[in-house]
Structure 1
């Protein structure tokens, strides 16, 4: 009886210690090194004609700067049309800023600052748009390249990604130039011509600026938005991308003798390849609570409070539960591990011929704590001694470095974003896709990815999809945001 009592007392003591530790850690928990920007004196956005700005976005959406996977299919005259339209539509901007058109049609604008000792800023928005999937045109409420203004929005391919940002930037710059704004800090606007198919234009622009000795305080590009129904808090959050995942496509090849399908061997090239692909996908990278994804969850959980905050503050105890919950949705799981996605398969050119070579392409989006070498090593380990070969389709893009959440650049972006959303939670964010902004990392202290559009999770599906449209409310917020940010950081 005494032993049972001692065991029971010991167990209760352990529970008490655990409960006490959980309570203390929960009460004292707060995200570290995430500045709120409240110490920034924010400049006001200058007046402008919103109706004219909306008409300008409509006009830009009608210019078909469509990037195809094969550049030979691009109608380069459309980029020339866009450049001429920008010059005619924004005369004050073109008087204040010098314009360089690279041979590939990427644009670099420069507004020289009065104080050469101050590092400049770089703002970005790309010119190109993705094609409309053949056969889906009839599914659009309004023609995808008509720039229709209806239902308090501008409808069309590229209105969100990324001509909304491009036109919004020019509207902000035109308003500032028109009122006589003179920047102390230099301003660069870089607009890539091919972001949707790799971003070689932005890379060329970055190389040119580096050769000229440019070192920016920060770069701002697309990549994230303000969500109205953010998971965890079910409310508004300003999600600012501080990093983006790497990108790599692995080619897996199974060679075989080939022959006639009427006399197949026990193992064909196709079956060898299939086993290899399954082995790779069935050996996923583990979920890890680290990096920008973890910082985002910590920020949201602190605001949410209750058991959510308790779980995040005590990952030593609740990490398995958190990982299960975050891993339940592909969209949330992507922020916490390197993803593996087989996308293309190729074998025989004829149904009754055994291929001599069967190939698969597997696309990886690499988490900030991994590198392409880790991907290759994991794939080889997964297949073991299977007779397959590995190669990269093209040199991988490694994950970007993680930008600061306490620097001056961060504070400028946060302050400008919160002006229209003072009650929204500010949180860092990991961009799981790719942006042109990554090319600016060598010439910029920090790179941020954010557009001040107010979206629901459901509405984000229209990006690259059917019925893409920019609401007039979001467009106005964008112009005001860019004007405030530029005037505050460069003024």
Structure 2
């Protein structure tokens, strides 16, 4: 009886200690190293004509700078029209800044600062847009390249990705130039011509900037937004991308004798390939609460409070439950591990022919803590002795650097974003797609990925999809944000 009593008392003591640890960790929990920009004194937004700006976005959408995967299909004349339109529409900007058009039609604008000892800033937005999926034009509420202004929005391909940012930047610089703004810190506006198909233009721009000796204090590009109904908190959050995943596509090939389908061997090349794909996808990369994803989760959990804060603050005890919740949604899970997605298959050219070679393409989005060598090793280990070969389709793109959340650049961007969304939670995040900004790593201390558009989760699905449109209120916020940021950081 005494022994049982001692065990019970010991168990209660352990529970009490654990409860105490949970209480203390929860009470003292706060995201580490994330500045809120409250010490930044923001510059005023100069006057501009919002109706005219909306008309300009409509006009830009009508220029069909569509990047097709096959470069032969790209109508380069549309890019030339866009450049001429920018010069005609924004004369004050073009009077204040020098313009360089690279041979591939990527643009570099430079507004020289009065103090060459100050590091410049780089702001980015690409010119090209994705095609409209064949046969879906009739699904659009308004024609995809008409730039229709209706329902308090501008409708059309590229309004969000990324002509909204491009036009917003030019509206901001035009207003600043007309108001007599003279930067102390230099400003570079870089606009790639082919972000949607690889970003060779941004890479060329970065090479030129490096050759010119440019080293910016920060770069800002597309990548994330103000999400109105952010998971975890159910409310608005300013999500600023501080890193982006790497990208790699692995070709898995199964070779076989081939022959007639009426006399198949025990296992065909297609069967071997199918087993290999299943083995690879059945061994996913583990969920890891670390890096930018962890910083975002901590920021949101601290704001949410309650059981969410308790769980995130006490991952030593509840980490498995937190990971389980994150893994339940592909959208949230993507920020916490390297993803594996088989996307293309190729086998026989005819239904009654056994292929001599069957292959699959598997697309990986690489988390900041993994590298392409880890991907290849992981795939080889998964298939074991299966007779398949591996090859990268193109050289992998490794994950980007992780930028600071306490730098001066971060503070300026955070302050400019919070000015129009004071009640939103500020949080860093991992961008799971790719942006042109990754090319600027050699010429920039930090890189941030953020557009101040206010979207719901549902609305964000229209990017690259049907009925893409920019709300006029979001467009106004974008112009104000860019004007504040440029005038504050470069003034």
TM-score normalised by the chain length of structure 2 = 1.00
Shift of 1:3: 1.1
Which position in structure 2 is the counterpart of 1:435? Answer: 435
In 1, the alpha carbon distance for the partners of 2:45 and 2:438 equals 28
Which position in structure 1 is the counterpart of 2:79? Answer: 79
Which position in structure 1 is the counterpart of 2:174? Answer: 174
In 2, the alpha carbon distance for the partners of 1:297 and 1:205 equals 34
**Residue 345, structure 1, aligned to residue 361, structure 2:** no
In 1, the alpha carbon distance for the partners of 2:218 and 2:316 equals 35
**Residue 223, structure 1, aligned to residue 223, structure 2:** yes
Which position in structure 2 is the counterpart of 1:243? Answer: 243
Aligned partner of residue 323 in structure 2, secondary structure: helix
Aligned partner of residue 109 in structure 1, secondary structure: strand
Which position in structure 2 is the counterpart of 1:393? Answer: 393
For residues 25-424 of structure 1, what are the structure 2 equivalents within 5 Å? 25-424=25-424
Shift of 1:120: 0.2
In 2, the alpha carbon distance for the partners of 1:313 and 1:268 equals 52
Aligned partner of residue 229 in structure 1, secondary structure: strand
- Provide the aligned C-alpha RMSD in A: 0.4
Which position in structure 1 is the counterpart of 2:481? Answer: 481
Shift of 1:296: 0.2
Deviations along 1:328-365, one digit per CA (max 9) or x if unpaired, are 00000000000000000000111111111101000000
Aligned partner of residue 20 in structure 2, secondary structure: helix
Deviations along 1:465-488, one digit per CA (max 9) or x if unpaired, are 000000000000000000000000
Shift of 1:108: 0.3
Aligned partner of residue 461 in structure 2, secondary structure: helix
In 2, the alpha carbon distance for the partners of 1:8 and 1:348 equals 68
Deviations along 1:290-311, one digit per CA (max 9) or x if unpaired, are 0000100000000111111111
Deviations along 1:133-189, one digit per CA (max 9) or x if unpaired, are 011110100000000000000000000000000000000000000111000000000
In 1, the alpha carbon distance for the partners of 2:44 and 2:321 equals 45
Shift of 1:441: 1.0
Aligned partner of residue 29 in structure 1, secondary structure: coil
In 2, the alpha carbon distance for the partners of 1:104 and 1:268 equals 46
Aligned partner of residue 190 in structure 1, secondary structure: strand
Aligned partner of residue 462 in structure 1, secondary structure: coil
Deviations along 1:382-440, one digit per CA (max 9) or x if unpaired, are 00111100000000110001000000000000000000011110000100000001001
In 2, the alpha carbon distance for the partners of 1:253 and 1:104 equals 35
Which position in structure 1 is the counterpart of 2:458? Answer: 458
Paired positions, count: 491
In 2, the alpha carbon distance for the partners of 1:240 and 1:273 equals 40
Aligned partner of residue 160 in structure 1, secondary structure: coil
In 2, the alpha carbon distance for the partners of 1:253 and 1:64 equals 38
Deviations along 1:186-228, one digit per CA (max 9) or x if unpaired, are 0000000000001010011001100111000000000000001
TM-score normalised by the chain length of structure 1 = 1.00
**Structure 1 unaligned spans of 5+:** none
**Residue 16, structure 1, aligned to residue 16, structure 2:** yes
In 1, the alpha carbon distance for the partners of 2:396 and 2:127 equals 24
In 2, the alpha carbon distance for the partners of 1:269 and 1:38 equals 62
Aligned partner of residue 146 in structure 2, secondary structure: coil
Shift of 1:129: 0.2
Shift of 1:376: 0.3
In 2, the alpha carbon distance for the partners of 1:396 and 1:161 equals 24
Aligned partner of residue 182 in structure 1, secondary structure: coil
In 1, the alpha carbon distance for the partners of 2:306 and 2:461 equals 31
In 2, the alpha carbon distance for the partners of 1:167 and 1:76 equals 20
Shift of 1:253: 0.6
In 1, the alpha carbon distance for the partners of 2:415 and 2:93 equals 24
Aligned partner of residue 250 in structure 2, secondary structure: strand
